[in-house]
Structure 1
Amino acid sequence: MNWRLTDRTLELEQPLGAGIVNVTVDSMFEGARSGTPAQAVADGLALVEAGFEMLDVGAVAAKAGPPVTADDEAAALVPAIEGLARRSRGSFDTHEVQREPWDAGRVPISADTFSVEVARRALAAGAVAVNDIGGGSEEMFDLVAGTGCGYVLMHIEGPPRVDRPWREYGDVVDHLKAWFEGRVELARELGVAEEQIAIDPGLDFDLSPEQDLEILRRLGELRSLGRALYVSLSRKDFIGAVLAGSWEGRLPPSEREWGTVAAVALAVREGADVLRIHDRSSLQAMRIAGRIARPQRSVA
C-alpha cells in the first residue's frame, strides 16, 4: 500500500509510526504536551531519535472545548512545523533544544488540523500532509488537490471538539465503508488523487468502546477500500474503559500505555499501515507485530 505526500510516496510494506507532538497545554495525555513551539521542536527531535518515521504536529486538543481562531492555532503550530522542517534551532531564542539537527528530508511531518486556513499555512511551513479530524470539507479537499499533499480522512459524524452521544450504526464497519466511499468519491471529484488519501476510522469519535473494539477486530475489512489505513488509538478513552471495566471509571491516559501496546500490535495484525502513537513501547510493538504479520527480508 502506498501513500502519496507532497514530496514523496511512502511505500507501506511495513507499518509506520507517526509520533505525536502537541503544541498545547491541554491535550488529553499530559506526557505529550509541548507548551511552546520551541518545546515542540525538542520533543519532535526526541521522537525521531527514538525511531519514529513520521511526526504528527497539532496545536488544538481534540477534546470538546471552545473555538480556537485560525490565527491562534497557527501561532503555535506553524513555528513548530517550520522549526522541525528546517531542522533549525536558531528560529527560537531558547536553550531547550540541545540535540544535533536531524535530516528532515527523511521524516515527513503532518499537520493535525481541521482548519483549512491553518492547514494552508502549515503546508507552506513544511508539512507534507494534513491530518484532518473534521471529516473532510470541500474547502479542505480543494486545498489538498491544489497542493498535492497527503491527507488523512477521519470518520466523524459532526463538527470536532463537540461532545455528542454515541450513535447506533447497525453494522459499524459497513457504515464506515459506506461513509469513506462517499467522502473519497467527493474528494476525487474535487481533484484529490486517491493515492493522497489515508483513511482513519476515528476511534473514540462518535463511537462507543464496543464499537471501537469491533472496528479493531475487523479493521482488515477496510482494506477493501484500497487506501492506507491510519489508526490513531494511543492512550484513548476506550482503552481506559476496557482496562477499568467501565466507561465512568475509565483509567486516565497516564495509565493506558500497556493497553495501547496490545491494541497497536493487534491493529497491525489486522492491517494498520500508519499508527499515530505517543510512546516508544508502542513503536516497538508495532515493529515486532509488523514483521510477524508481514514477513519481509531477514533481520540478519
Structure 2
Amino acid sequence: MSIERGRGRVAGLPTWDRCAVMGVVNVTPDSFSDGGHWFNTAAAVKHGLTLVAEGADLVDVGGESTRPGATRVDETEELKRVIPVVRGLAAEGVTVSVDTMRASVAEQSLAAGAALVNDVSGGLADPAMIPAVAAAGAPFVVMHWRGFLAGGNVRGVYADVVREVVDELHARVEAAIDAGIAADRIVVDPGLGFSKDPAHDLALLAHLDRLRGLGHPLLVAASRKRFLGHVLAGAEGAPPPARERDAATAAVSAIAAQHGAWAVRVHEVRATADAVRVARAVEGARTGGPSGTAGRPAAEGAR
C-alpha cells in the first residue's frame, strides 16, 4: 500500500488526496508566535478566510494559549473568544476545528458549526471531554500530553521517547474508544514541543512510521516550535524568533506529507500548501497515481 493510500481518512470530515493543511487562528493575546494579532472576532474570521484562500483545507480556532507558562483563561472568556469565530467561519463554508481542553467549549463549538475537536490534552484536562465528543459523534484529535506547562516543560524525561509516546497515545486512544468515540473518528498527534526537548521532537519526526502504526490518521503540529529554532540556531547561535521559522515549518510539512501524515497544522499556510502538493506529486510519480495538483478535496461529505 502506498503512503498516500495509507494515510487514512477521518469519518465526518472531507477527504483529501494528499496531506491536508490545517491553518491556525489563535484568538488569544498571548500565544507564542502570533498572540494578539487576531484578538477580535472580525479580524479572526478574516484571517481564517485568508488562510483558506492561501490553501488551508481546515482552520483550527483556539481561545487559550498552551505555551509554557501561560495562565489558563476561564471558561466564560474562552467561550467569548471562540464561539463567534467558529460560527463566522462555519457560516462561510469553512471546515472548522476547535482547539480546546474544555468539554463545554467543544460542545458549544460543535453546535456553532465546528466539525472537529482538537484537544491538546487528549481528554485528560477535562474528564467530561471524551464523553461529550462521543455524544456528539464528532471527530477527535488525541494529542500526547503529560500535563499543563505552567511550570515549564513538565515530565520531559524519556528512556525511549518514540516507544513511550506511542504507548501513551495508544492508551489514550483506547480510553477514547472505550468511552464511545468511534475508532474511525480518532486522529493522533505526537505533541511536538509538549514535555519534549528538541532531540525528542526530532526523534518523533524521524519515526513517523511508528506513530502511523497506531492505525489512526496522524496530525503533525510543528509550526514555529522551539525545536525548529534550535535547529536553525546551530551550536552557538541564538534561535530566530517564532515568526522567522516558517520556511523550516514548510520543510517539516513536506517530510510529514512524504511519510503519510493525514494533516499538518501551521500558522503560515501558503508555503506548506505548496510543500504538501509537491510531496503528493512526487508520490504520484513514484506510484503512477495522480499528481495531486488539485486544490480541492477529492470528495466531500461524511460517512
TM-score category of the 2 structures, normalised to the smaller one: 0.7 to 0.9
Does 2:96 match 1:109? yes
Does 2:83 match 1:78? yes
- After TM superposition, the structure 1 = structure 2 runs for residues 75-224 of structure 1, keeping only pairs within 5 Å, are 75-87=80-92, 104=93, 107-137=94-124, 138-159=127-148, 161-165=150-154, 167-224=156-213
Secondary structure of 1:285's counterpart equals helix
Provide the C-alpha distance between the structure 1 equivalents of 2:156 and 2:235, rounded to a whole number of angstroms: 18
Match of 1:292 in 2: 282
| Cα offsets for 1:130-153 (capped at 9, x unmatched) | 110112134211011100111111
Q: Which amino acid aligns with 2:31?
A: S
Provide the C-alpha distance between the structure 2 equivalents of 1:16 and 1:247, rounded to a whole number of angstroms: 36
- CA positional deviation for 1:247: 9.7
Could you tell me which runs of 5 or more consecutive residues in structure 1 were left unpaired when the two chains were aligned: 88-103
Q: TM-score by structure 2 length?
A: 0.86
For residue 230 of structure 1, the aligned residue among 199, 219, 222 is 219
Match of 2:48 in 1: 44
Match of 1:93 in 2: none
User: How many equivalent residue pairs?
Assistant: 279
Secondary structure of 2:252's counterpart equals helix
Provide the C-alpha distance between the structure 2 equivalents of 1:246 and 1:35, rounded to a whole number of angstroms: 36
**Pair 220,128 (structure 1): closer, same or farther in 2 beyond 3 Å:** same
| Higher relative contact order, chain-length normalized (CA < 8 Å, sep 6+) | 2
- CA positional deviation for 1:32: 8.1
**Pair 84,162 (structure 1): closer, same or farther in 2 beyond 3 Å:** farther
- CA positional deviation for 1:49: 1.1
Could you tell me which runs of 5 or more consecutive residues in structure 2 were left unpaired when the two chains were aligned: 1-7, 295-303
**Pair 160,37 (structure 1): closer, same or farther in 2 beyond 3 Å:** farther
Q: TM-score by structure 1 length?
A: 0.87
Provide the C-alpha distance between the structure 2 equivalents of 1:181 and 1:111, rounded to a whole number of angstroms: 22
For residue 4 of structure 1, the aligned residue among 8, 11, 14 is 11
Question: Contact (CA 8 Å) 2:144, 2:190: kept in 1 or not?
Answer: yes
RMSD: 2.0
- CA positional deviation for 1:165: 4.3
Match of 1:90 in 2: none
139-148 vs 289-298, which moves further: 289-298
- After TM superposition, the structure 1 = structure 2 runs for residues 256-271 of structure 1, keeping only pairs within 5 Å, are 256-271=245-260
Match of 2:273 in 1: 283
